[in-house]
């Protein structure tokens, strides 16, 4: 893909993150793309659904439904994926992941790379900003720590 397409689809993931924030959830969004076409998008819904597995990437993949193969897809995510989501990326054979930012949470970029996944880190200010706005509210710190399994 090229930078323009990466920006376009990261923008879709960011719009999902903004929807999650507006709904009182954790603002992490994701988009799944095949051949330059959006397959599905989704956002973290742990809070909204009371589902500990409803991370942004997982919601996106769930919205995509069954796919014959993921080996020709790209996954866009506003924040570096956790180990659960990284394991799913590896399990499904998604070859390329575009990450909006890894400052708020460094996730598992090196794990993905060690498993042959191409990871592009965009260092996107808008992705950092949505997390900064979420984390600026003291009541959200406990929700965030729960999401990343921190005490």
Query: What pLDDT is attached to residue 6?
Result: 97
Query: What pLDDT is attached to residue 47?
Result: 95
| Beta sheet of 37-43, edge-to-edge order | 37-43, 29-34, 73-79, 96-101, 118-121
Query: What pLDDT is attached to residue 1?
Result: 57
CB atoms within 10 A of CB 73: 22
Known active-site residue 150: no
CB atoms within 10 A of CB 126: 15
Is the pTM higher than 0.85?
yes
In sign, the C-alpha dihedral spanning 43, 25, 55, 100 is positive
CA proximity to 62, closest of 90, 82, 43, 34: 43
Q: What is the residue whose two structure tokens read 């965009």?
A: 122
Query: What pLDDT is attached to residue 147?
Result: 86
pLDDT profile of the chain (151 residues), mean per 10: 90 98 97 98 96 96 97 98 98 98 96 98 98 95 88 68
Q: Which one of 16, 57, 118, 139 is the catalytic residue?
A: 57
């Amino acid at each position: 893909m090229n930078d323009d397409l990466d920006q376009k689809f990261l923008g879709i993931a960011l719009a999902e993150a903004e929807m999650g924030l507006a709904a009182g959830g954790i603002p992490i969004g994701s988009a799944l793309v095949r051949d330059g076409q959006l397959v599905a998008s989704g956002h973290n819904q742990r809070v909204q659904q009371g589902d500990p597995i409803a991370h942004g990437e997982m919601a996106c993949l769930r919205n995509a439904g069954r796919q014959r193969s993921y080996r020709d897809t790209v996954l866009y995510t506003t924040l570096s994926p956790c180990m659960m989501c990284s394991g799913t990326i590896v399990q499904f054979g998604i070859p390329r992941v575009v990450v909006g930012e890894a400052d708020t949470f460094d996730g598992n970029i090196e794990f993905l790379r060690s498993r042959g996944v191409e990871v592009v880190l965009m260092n996107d200010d808008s992705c950092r900003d949505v997390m900064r706005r979420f984390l600026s509210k003291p009541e959200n710190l406990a929700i965030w720590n729960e999401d990343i399994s921190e005490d």
